[in-house]
Structure 1
Amino acid sequence: MGGPDTGKARKSGIRRLFSWKKLLGTFFVCCLLGMGALYVVYLMVPVPTANAEATMQSNIYKYANGKILARTGEINREIVGLDKIPEQVQKAFVAAENKTFYKDNGVDIKGTTRAAWSTVTGKGKQGGSTITQQYVKNYYLSQDQTATRKLKEMVIALKVDQNMSKNEILAGYMNTSYYGRSAYGVQAAARSYYGVDASRLTTAQGAYLAALLQAPNQYDWTSANDTGRKLVEQRWNYVLDNMVEEGWLQPSERAGMKFPVPQKPKPLPGMEGQTGYLVEAANQELMRRGVSEEDIKAGGWTVTLNIDEKKQKALVKAVDRKLEAKLDRKGNEKHAVVQAGATSVDPKTGAVVAMYGGVGATEHWISNATRRDYQPASTFKPIVLASALENRSETQDGRRIGLGTVYDGTSRRPVEGSDIPFKPQNENDRSYGPITVQKATNSSVNSVYAQMIVDVGPAKVKKTALALGMKDGEDFPEAPAISLGVMNASTLDMAGVYATLDNHGKLVTPTLVKSAEHKDRTVRGANAIGGQVVSRESADTVTKAMTGVVRSGSGTRAAGDYAAAGKTGTSENNRSAWFVGYTPELVTAVGLFGEDTKGNQVTLTNTINEGRANGGGVPAQIWGDYTTRALNGGSDARFDLETDGADAVEPDPSRTTEAPEEPTDEPTTASPGTTTPPATEPATTPPTRTSDPATTPPTPTQEPTTDEPSPPPSIEPPDGGGTDPEPSGDGTGRPVRPTAPR
């Protein structure tokens, strides 16, 4: 009978301890304490002076020798009042960021609390700030996403809202925000994106600039990818729809608006010539190393480049002498489409010592040195050979692939052993018959390298290419056609790949920035030399093959008073022409690109010369002129090669006269992924190797299929029972310098 009484007593005690009056009282006490704490914080947090970012400094860029290359900054901003900005443009910014701006007290408690909680709990950064809060962050505080900074932002925003008018706050916000393209403030943004003053912005243009603030770099139309363009259009529509909803824009006016595509970016004053290209490339490299674009634009950096002032000037002079002196860009429409780009790298350190981006950064802002939208063509073939050697690959009939391996050089010969049909045409549809890998490299025979990549396996070749430093992408399929270099690459990419080969297979990552120093941060140069990505024997054998290209193949115009290896390349439809080569001390990639005034790729045929522009022409001449100047007229440095010693050797370079024309790399029938049935004509079976082709070259069995004159004996020596002699030298293995004109 005591049980029930005991239970009632226990419940009665709990009720006395947690009565609703006590709970309610505790709640009110907590609220009062919280309000008191906030009031104390409000009193204690002052409105600070403007932060460093609001009074930005310039950046200083230096050559490797410490000489100043450029000063940037002085902040690209011009403060304008709201009276200079169309009212509907003002409303576009409010519609984009804070529709309640004219009604709120400067703070969004709910949004800010949510953003702060996400930051504290590690869920990532979130928005939630009003225009007033964003102005406070831009002008008074840092960009750090911390709970403390958020609390300060709220308190200062409340005070600013009390002491400033809404128009003053909106003007401050529009003038301090960053819009990309080094533009701070709406005036600089209007000029950068639309070439007009802010006072002349249309509503549609204003809506784009307002939308841009959410992600300035991602939403820049001229450089955005398809996803970025889709997102910014969605954001632009969101801004205009909000304006209609708020009654700031008539539905009929909204219905007639089209997206206002901005103009291409133009560099700031002082970025003329190569300076703008170098500064932009340096900034891009710093961002890859973790320095935010906002930090770079905030200024105060001293950036020392690896650029060698002497070599940089030599590269510019070489392009001027061998290309620009021959062009009339203003008076000849065909000449105007020719664009040149180049990158030069020290293979021992990875330092980018010279870079040519184009005619001038204020005239052609896209850098031809770093752009990655043209095909490297046959300059990719040495990578195929490197992969064959590294994988110890064999031909279809079981012969190990080396420089003396004989292939069938018949034009349009269908490849054997591939699920993807492919039968590329050689230059001028010329058939070579049985030909060694060395000679096929010299003359860039498409049919040989198409079969070789099948023998190695396209997937293995791609793996080797990526290991050597090429970049992956949707344009890099695993198909026979990539033997012709149909993916995209920049001169910076190709200089890195060839530098790795020059460095005996140890990875070289081209590095432009030597160091970058700020008052509270220092960024050192990256470790540009990596591990062994292909064996020394493989890399050195490829180097040996490419000495033949310069000595007696398609690259003789690059020859000079130095030991050299290299490869020419001419892409499909002659849209690009390349020479990439190296000495023991210097690696340089030179490219010519066809581009019309609208930025479309066009042919180089009948531009710089009658007929095709090819890699063995102007690019090789630029390379030779620059290399001679950069090496002070020549060099005694030699290639220290370790090969298997059984590779074919080309004839004495003293017999060289003139370079043959570089073949075009055109997959004329089946492109990657096609399933067109192969031709019924059977492929010629490569002859069985019965003796070392290096000492007994096979006799061609098929004449060229066109009326093209046979190349001179110095280029393609007659085959017979004799041996291709080892070039005479000084007994140390150093290749003799050729006598061909430089």
Structure 2
Amino acid sequence: MLGTFFVLCLLAMGALYVVYLLVPVPGANIEATMQSNVYKYSNGKILARTGKINREIVGLEKIPKEVQDAFVAAENKTFYKDSGVDIMGTARGVFNTVTGKGKQGGSTITQQYVKNYYLDQDQTVTRKLKELVISLKVDQEKQKPEILAGYLNTSYYGRGAYGIQAAAQAYYGVDAPKLTVEQGAYLAALLQAPSQYDWTTATPTSRELVTERWNYVLNNMVEEGWLDKTERTGMKFPVPHKPKAAPGMEGQTGYLVEAANQELMRAGVSEKDIKAGGWTITTNIDEKRQKDLVKAVDEELEDKLDRKGDKSHTVVQAGASSVDPRTGSVVALYGGVGATEHWLSNATRRDYQPASTFKPIVLASALENGSETQDGEKIGLNTIYDGTSKRPVEGSDTAFAPENEDDRSYGPITVQKATNSSVNSVYAQMIVDVTPAKVKKTALDLGMRDGEGWPEKPAMSLGTMGASTLDMAGAYATLDNHGKKVTPRVVKSAERRDRTVELPDPIGGQVISREAADTTTFAMTGVVEDGSGRQAGGDYEAAGKTGTSENNRSAWFVGYTPELVTAVALFGEKPDGTGQVTLTDTVDKGKRANGGGFPARIWGAYTTGALDGGSDAEFDLEVDESATARPNPSPTTSPSKSEESSPTPSTPTPSRSRERESESPDPTPSKSRPEKPSKPPIPTKSPTTPPIEPPIEPDPADGDRPLRS
């Protein structure tokens, strides 16, 4: 009998050896390597998680040593000494499986890691034997710290959390490096029965059991010399937070995630790499300002719409982008009514025209290039142009005679007043004086993107190209930053265990002179003080420009304070998203949609909230005083023919900035607003004879050529 026993033992050992030779260490199973991407606000608060598995793999070096010890104390005190298997525990597990007595117990950390990482969770004899063999091999091939890290990152902790990083967030709202010993001991105790031991849903009996196990873990740590006994005595059970649903893609979240992903792809990260997961992406989005922007759109627009009951309201789409001009950080985006309802982001789409918000770029180019009128006068804010509606431009091979808003003629008018009132005929002539090619170069230097809809013709002065609110916010941010290039950045940092993305500096070099940028800013303060952007005014100094495209397919207000640049736009889009339509402003009692209406009001409400009610910051401008005479506010009625022959003086409306200057004992020259005598009008020459430029037939994605502002 003894001989037979030894023979059987030898046969069993031989069989195990054969199995050892025949069973290879497989590759990781699919679920073990799946991770989620974690997106965060600039303050570190989680914005969203994406991916099927809520897991973010972290290196062992990021997990506090005491927390590592807690898991070893809970599961396998001999981990650092054993060969990776527990023969008796495995034999007991096999016996229980064969006899139908339930799951095995007593596995080592190595065996649990092998089960999680290489195998499935089936409770079969074959799987258990493979686990034993693979565990022996893995223990020989890998170092203990690598095995422990794999175990911590692949274990399931409940609440949909795989891995210790996801568990730390799910139960305590912190990242793994900030876990305390007490919290680590709870998570280690939790692994025995995640659902049963989740404190917020546990029965009184289960709470008692998990508390006992928590104490067991800490006592084992003291016993192994990993925790001071005195320190252990003062520890209290760390009650976990109530579970929270993982942030989804609803509302603005989906737009923000997509904007971050698009920026990463432009930085060289492939879409496949992003979808592989494991990224921690911290954005520049300011949580408070993001909420302020959503609130402003809701209160100033959405609350006044009846999207379900009025078909004309269903075509209205709002988009906005807000940038810090000092850092280039995109602090807030508004992509639409909700990413799960209207996935295309209205903040980043480029299929609508910016209309007259392009005019300040024409002015900036004129100032930058020292351009002159047809009569040889250097262009400045007090230069006189003929503001007659439908006046043919002079000096262009392509004839163009744009109509002003409501076909209003202004006669001789300063550039400043033409900016305030967005006079098309003046800017059409100005772009001819500068040349469309130079204006396009300035626009691209400021940050606008090249593409279709950039014909180098006079009509370009009215914003015929496609642009997004983010594009326009970036271009205006460069003006706000005194001509130093600002490239808006959504992503602050992006890193994965094996890679950190190098992001370019959002603040670049000087692309136009400070004087040109600051003088353009000075001109746009008049739009808010005395012009079409009055409804954007508030308790802050601001510069901006309105814009409305032909047929009212888009309406814009882009503006800035010394601290914040924001572009707001409304787009007319068919409810099914198949094309552009006219914005019918039935909400505003039938008035046509325009940039000085809803966009300006949204801009003002958001800016007031984002600046906590207002700001005392002032523009630090270096301008050519000879070119900055502030014209008088326009009359509220259209001028008569006699009035069109010469500007009629009127009493200026006091502005907030002027009041400050009068209170200042020593105003700086750059802030002064000298009033100069009106210059005589430039004589109107007979227009050249080329045929009037026919209407541009743009790509359907580019909308119509704007004739209104």
Fold shared per TM-score above 0.5? yes
Question: SS of the counterpart of 2:627?
Answer: coil
Match of 1:727 in 2: 658
- Does structure 2 conserve the Cα–Cα contact (< 8 Å) formed by 1:551 and 1:656? no
Which of 314, 332, 336 is 1:336 aligned to? 314
Question: SS of the counterpart of 2:273?
Answer: helix
Deviations 1:375-411 (A, max 9, x none): 0000000000000000000000100000000000000
C-alpha RMSD over aligned residues: 3.1
Distance, in Å, in 1 between the alignment partners of 2:617 and 2:540 is: 7
Match of 1:485 in 2: 463
Which of 374, 379, 392 is 1:396 aligned to? 374
Which structure 2 segments of 5+ residues have no match? 1-20, 55-116, 119-245, 673-709
- How many pairs align? 456
Match of 2:353 in 1: 375
Distance, in Å, in 1 between the alignment partners of 2:263 and 2:654 is: 47
Match of 2:584 in 1: 605
- The alpha-carbon deviation at position 525 of structure 1 amounts to 4.0
Superposition pairs for residues 602-681 of structure 1, below 5 Å? 602-609=581-588, 610-650=590-630
Report the residue type matching 1:642 in the other structure.
E
Pick closer, same or farther for the CA change 1:396–1:585 going to 2, 3 Å. Answer: same
- Does structure 2 conserve the Cα–Cα contact (< 8 Å) formed by 1:638 and 1:735? no
Deviations 1:622-675 (A, max 9, x none): 0000000000101010100001111243368xx8999x99xxxxxxxxxxxxxx
Pick closer, same or farther for the CA change 1:723–1:341 going to 2, 3 Å. Answer: closer
- Does structure 1 conserve the Cα–Cα contact (< 8 Å) formed by 2:49 and 2:247? no
Which of 410, 416, 420 is 1:438 aligned to? 416
Distance, in Å, in 1 between the alignment partners of 2:628 and 2:505 is: 37
Q: Does 1:349 align with 2:327?
A: yes
- The alpha-carbon deviation at position 523 of structure 1 amounts to 1.7
Pick closer, same or farther for the CA change 1:560–1:338 going to 2, 3 Å. Answer: same
- Does structure 2 conserve the Cα–Cα contact (< 8 Å) formed by 1:575 and 1:593? yes
Question: SS of the counterpart of 1:727?
Answer: helix
Pick closer, same or farther for the CA change 1:356–1:722 going to 2, 3 Å. Answer: closer
Pick closer, same or farther for the CA change 1:48–1:703 going to 2, 3 Å. Answer: farther
Which structure 1 segments of 5+ residues have no match? 1-42, 77-138, 141-267, 662-698, 706-715, 737-742
Answer with 608-617 or 543-552: which moved more. 608-617
- Does structure 1 conserve the Cα–Cα contact (< 8 Å) formed by 2:328 and 2:488? yes
Q: Does 1:572 align with 2:540?
A: no
Q: Does 1:304 align with 2:282?
A: yes
Match of 1:58 in 2: 36
Deviations 1:346-387 (A, max 9, x none): 000000000000000001000000000000000000000000
**TM-score between both structures, scaled by the size of structure 2:** 0.61
Pick closer, same or farther for the CA change 1:46–1:294 going to 2, 3 Å. Answer: farther
Report the residue type matching 1:564 in the other structure.
A
Question: SS of the counterpart of 2:501?
Answer: strand
- Does structure 2 conserve the Cα–Cα contact (< 8 Å) formed by 1:338 and 1:607? no
Pick closer, same or farther for the CA change 1:388–1:650 going to 2, 3 Å. Answer: same
Superposition pairs for residues 456-471 of structure 1, below 5 Å? 456-471=434-449
Report the residue type matching 1:602 in the other structure.
V
- The alpha-carbon deviation at position 46 of structure 1 amounts to 6.2
Distance, in Å, in 2 between the alignment partners of 1:449 and 1:319 is: 31
Q: Does 1:316 align with 2:310?
A: no
Deviations 1:667-708 (A, max 9, x none): xxxxxxxxxxxxxxxxxxxxxxxxxxxxxxxx9865579xxx
Question: SS of the counterpart of 1:319?
Answer: helix
Identity within the alignment, %: 73
Report the residue type matching 1:718 in the other structure.
T
Match of 1:554 in 2: 532
- The alpha-carbon deviation at position 598 of structure 1 amounts to 2.5
Distance, in Å, in 2 between the alignment partners of 1:517 and 1:593 is: 36
Report the residue type matching 2:452 in the other structure.
E
Distance, in Å, in 1 between the alignment partners of 2:404 and 2:414 is: 15
Superposition pairs for residues 90-239 of structure 1, below 5 Å? none
Distance, in Å, in 2 between the alignment partners of 1:555 and 1:347 is: 21
Which of 558, 563, 580 is 2:541 aligned to? 563
Distance, in Å, in 2 between the alignment partners of 1:283 and 1:576 is: 27
Match of 2:363 in 1: 385
Match of 2:519 in 1: 541
Question: SS of the counterpart of 1:395?
Answer: coil
- The alpha-carbon deviation at position 336 of structure 1 amounts to 0.8
**TM-score between both structures, scaled by the size of structure 1:** 0.58
Distance, in Å, in 2 between the alignment partners of 1:485 and 1:572 is: 10
Report the residue type matching 1:545 in the other structure.
A
- Does structure 2 conserve the Cα–Cα contact (< 8 Å) formed by 1:64 and 1:309? yes
- Does structure 1 conserve the Cα–Cα contact (< 8 Å) formed by 2:416 and 2:631? no
Pick closer, same or farther for the CA change 1:458–1:51 going to 2, 3 Å. Answer: farther
Pick closer, same or farther for the CA change 1:393–1:522 going to 2, 3 Å. Answer: same
- The alpha-carbon deviation at position 50 of structure 1 amounts to 3.3
Q: Does 1:522 align with 2:500?
A: yes
Match of 2:251 in 1: 273
Distance, in Å, in 1 between the alignment partners of 2:352 and 2:642 is: 34
- Does structure 1 conserve the Cα–Cα contact (< 8 Å) formed by 2:48 and 2:247? no
